[in-house]
Structure 1
Amino acid sequence: MLKFNAYNIAPIEIQDAWSLCNFIVANEDRLKRYFPKTLEQNLTPDLSKFFVQKKVKQFSLKEELLFTIKKNESGELVGLVYLKELDWDKKQGEFAYCIGYPFERKGIITKSINTLSEYAFTNLGLETLQIIAHKDNIASVKVAEKCNFIWKRTLNNEFTPSGEKPLNMELYELYNEIEI
C-alpha cells in the first residue's frame, strides 16, 4: 500500500467489488466515453464481483495492474489507476485513470500517478510509462504534464468511444532516468 496526504493506493482486492460497483454507477456519465468496458463490467454487484476476481488474477500474473485510490479514514473509493498494456520485454506500461466527481481538481490523480510512476520504475523495473489522452480531455492532459510526461506524438484513430467515430489521441511518455 502506498500512502499520500489523506489517501492510499493499493492493488484491487476481492472485497473491493461492492464499493467498485457503487463508484462506477455513481460516476457512470463521466466513465462512459473513455472507460466503457470498465463501466459495462461493473453495473451490478455481481458483475463487479466477477470483474474484481479477474483483475486480482491479472494483477498476480502481472498482466494488468489495477489500483484503487481510497480515503485513509473512511476507506471510500475515490478513483482508479490502471497500469496496462504491460510489455515486460520493452519494460513499458500505460497508465489510465479516473476519479469520482467529488474528488476532481484536488490533485489526487496527479499525486497517484507520481507515486505509481516511482513504484513502477523502482519495484517493477519498467523504464517507459505512457499516458494516452484525448486533447479535449484537459484534466488528463494536465495530469500528464504535471507528472513530467513528455508529449511524443498524435496517434491517429487510436480510440473509438461507443457510438462515435475514431478519435486521435495524444501520446505522452515518462522515462526512468537511470543514473550511471
Structure 2
Amino acid sequence: MQLSLGAYHIIPIQPKDAWAICNFCVANEHRLKLYFPKTLEQNLTPDLSNIFVQKKVKQFQNKEEFLFTIREDESHKLVGLVYIKALDWVKKQGEFAYAIDYNLEGCGLMTKSIQKLSDYAFENLDIETLQIIVHKSNLASVKVAENCNFTHIKTLKNEYTPTSGTPMNMELYELYKAIE
C-alpha cells in the first residue's frame, strides 16, 4: 500500500525503517520531546530503533496500532510519522498522532497525509470515528485538524501528562465516516 502526496508518499512501517526513524527522531528531538517522548526515547540509537520497528511492524500486522511513514519520492528520506492508535474495534474508533520534520512544517504535507489516511481508515479499516487530541498551543496541529474537517468536540481535563509531570488539558477533535 502506498498513498501518493505529490512529491511525497505514505507507506506502512517497514522492517528496514530503523535507521531512517532513528535519524528522524534525533533530528527532530526538540519537536518530539513534549508530545512523543516514548517514540523519541525508543529511537535514540539504531539498536533501539530496530527494536521499535520490529514491535511496530508486528502491531501493524496484528491490527493493534498502525504506524505510517511519510517519505520524499526522490530521495526516500523519511520526513514524517503518522500513527493510527488507541484503536477500539467495538466502537470502530481510532486516534491520529503525527509528527513532521522541522524543515517541512507549515507546507500542508501533514494535512494532505491526514486526509489520505482518514479515507484509508474509513475505507479499509472499518473505522467510523477518527480522533485528534491536541493541546490548544500546538497551533500547527490544531490547523491540521481543522483543515481536515475534524470537529472540535470538547476540552479533555488533565488528559495528558508530559514527562515534566504537570497534567495538561487537551482538545478533542473528531471526524466521522460519511454514511451514504
TM-score by length of 2: 0.98
Partner of 1:153: 154
Query: How do 1:30-45 residues align onto structure 2 when only pairs under 5 Å count?
Result: 30-45=31-46
Question: Is 1:141 matched with 2:139?
Answer: no
Query: How do 1:87-98 residues align onto structure 2 when only pairs under 5 Å count?
Result: 87-98=88-99
Task: State the Cα distance separating 1:178 from its structure 2 match.
Answer: 1.1
* Distance (whole Å) between structure 1 residues aligned to residue 158 and residue 119 of structure 2: 30
Task: State the Cα distance separating 1:163 from its structure 2 match.
Answer: 1.2
Partner of 1:8: 9
* Distance (whole Å) between structure 1 residues aligned to residue 149 and residue 100 of structure 2: 20
Q: Secondary structure at the match of 1:102?
A: helix
The RMSD of aligned alpha carbons is 0.5
TM-score by length of 1: 0.98
* Distance (whole Å) between structure 2 residues aligned to residue 11 and residue 79 of structure 1: 12
Q: Secondary structure at the match of 2:166?
A: coil
* Distance (whole Å) between structure 2 residues aligned to residue 93 and residue 49 of structure 1: 26
* Distance (whole Å) between structure 1 residues aligned to residue 117 and residue 145 of structure 2: 13
Deviations 1:78-109 (A, max 9, x none): 00000000111110000000001111111010
Task: State the Cα distance separating 1:164 from its structure 2 match.
Answer: 3.7
Partner of 2:108: 107
Q: Secondary structure at the match of 2:178?
A: coil
Q: Secondary structure at the match of 1:68?
A: strand
* Distance (whole Å) between structure 1 residues aligned to residue 30 and residue 73 of structure 2: 26
The percentage of counterpart residues that share the same residue type is: 68
Q: How many residues align?
A: 179
Query: How do 1:39-54 residues align onto structure 2 when only pairs under 5 Å count?
Result: 39-54=40-55
Partner of 1:22: 23
Question: Is 1:75 matched with 2:85?
Answer: no
Query: Which consecutive aligned stretches of 4+ in structure 1 deviate over 3 angstroms post-superposition?
Result: none
Deviations 1:98-141 (A, max 9, x none): 00111111101000000000000001110000000000000000
* Distance (whole Å) between structure 2 residues aligned to residue 164 and residue 27 of structure 1: 22
One-letter amino acid matched to 1:2: L
Give the gaps of 5 or more residues in structure 1.
Answer: none
Give the gaps of 5 or more residues in structure 2.
Answer: none
Deviations 1:135-171 (A, max 9, x none): 0000000000000000000000000111141000000
Partner of 1:85: 86
* Distance (whole Å) between structure 2 residues aligned to residue 146 and residue 164 of structure 1: 31
* Distance (whole Å) between structure 2 residues aligned to residue 91 and residue 9 of structure 1: 23
* Distance (whole Å) between structure 1 residues aligned to residue 174 and residue 7 of structure 2: 28
Task: State the Cα distance separating 1:4 from its structure 2 match.
Answer: 1.5
More moved, 147-156 vs 2-11: 2-11
